[in-house]
Amino acid sequence: MKSKIIEQDCIELIPKIENLLPLMEGKTFLITGSNGLIGNYFVTLLDTLNRERQLNIMTHCISKHEPIWTNETFKFETKDLTFDKIQIPSPYIVDYIIHCACFAR
C-alpha cells in the first residue's frame, strides 16, 4: 500500500525542484532498495511527477522483498543484490541510478 504521508511530501516537494523537471522528463531511473524508506520516497516522487506533471518517467525498481505497491509507470524486480547481478532487459536504457540498497536485515 502506498503511503499517503510520503505521497503528500512528494506533492509539496514538486515546486521546490521545478528547475530539475526538464532533466527528468522521459528518462528511465533504476532504483535499488526500492522498498526501503528512502527508495520508496524516490519511487513515490517519480510516480507523483508522472501523475501531476505527465513527465513520462519510467522506473525500474529492485528490492529483495516483494513490491509494496505497483503501477504501470515502473517495473519491479525482486532480487537480492548481495548475490545477483543487475541485468536490465532490453529495450531499457537507464539514464539515472539511485542506489538505496543496503545490508539491513
Classify strands 96-99 and 28-32 as parallel, antiparallel or unpaired: parallel
Q: Is the pLDDT of residue 12 over 80?
A: yes
Helix (H, G, I), strand (E, B) or coil at 37: helix
Residue 24 sits at φ, ψ, to 5 deg, of -100, -20
Per-residue pLDDT of 56-97, as tens digits, reads 999 989 888 888 777 887 888 888 877 777 776 666 689 999
| Strands laid side by side in the 58-63 sheet | 74-78, 58-63, 28-32, 96-99
The residue with greater pLDDT, 32 or 85, is 32
28 HSE (CA, 13 A, CB side):
13
